[in-house]
Amino acid sequence: MRKLLLSLCGVAVLAATPAFATDSPSCVRRNDVRHWASPERRVLLLESYSGSRIRLTMNGTCQGFGIYDSFQITGPLEGAATCISKGDYVRTNWAGEPGLCTITDLQPYDGPVREPQPHLP
């Protein structure tokens, strides 16, 4: 009886978590962001170490996506290995002002994530 209960609990936990979408081209995990850029306000372009690229559109009070700024992506499931999805939060701390945005749209992206840097002589 205990084994049955334990296996049912395990199935329930697996059903509640998002699928491990390693085959999905639009899956960028929270702990797998290699490059990022912000071409306009409240838009983030993310690239994972596996080469997957997504474009996040957000609304809220977050700002400060410059070269030396940082941000944190959190959500209802706090695991670092979960895919970034709609409804997750982007938290910033720019010039001492905390900001919070909600991801409203997530699309696969095929353009460059970083602008080419000029070569120094």
The domain in which residue 82 lies consists of 2-108
- CA atoms in the 13 A half-sphere facing the CB of 53: 11
**Residue 73 falls within a domain, yes or no?**
yes
**Residue 119 falls within a domain, yes or no?**
no
**Residue 92 falls within a domain, yes or no?**
yes
**Cβ(42)–Cβ(57) under 8 Å?**
yes
Domain count across the chain: 1
pLDDT, residue 88, reads 93
Mean pLDDT, rounded, for 10-18: 48
Mean pLDDT, the chain, whole residue set: 77
Burial of 88 (0-12, 13-18, 19+ CB in 10 A): buried
**Residue 116 falls within a domain, yes or no?**
no
pTM score = 0.70
**Residue 11 falls within a domain, yes or no?**
yes
Question: How far apart are alpha carbons 70 and 65 in whole angstroms?
Answer: 7
**Paired strand residues for 93:** 98
Worst-scoring range by mean pLDDT, 48-52, 89-93, 111-115? Answer: 111-115
**Residue 114 falls within a domain, yes or no?**
no
Worst-scoring range by mean pLDDT, 20-29, 41-50, 80-89? Answer: 20-29
pLDDT, residue 14, reads 46
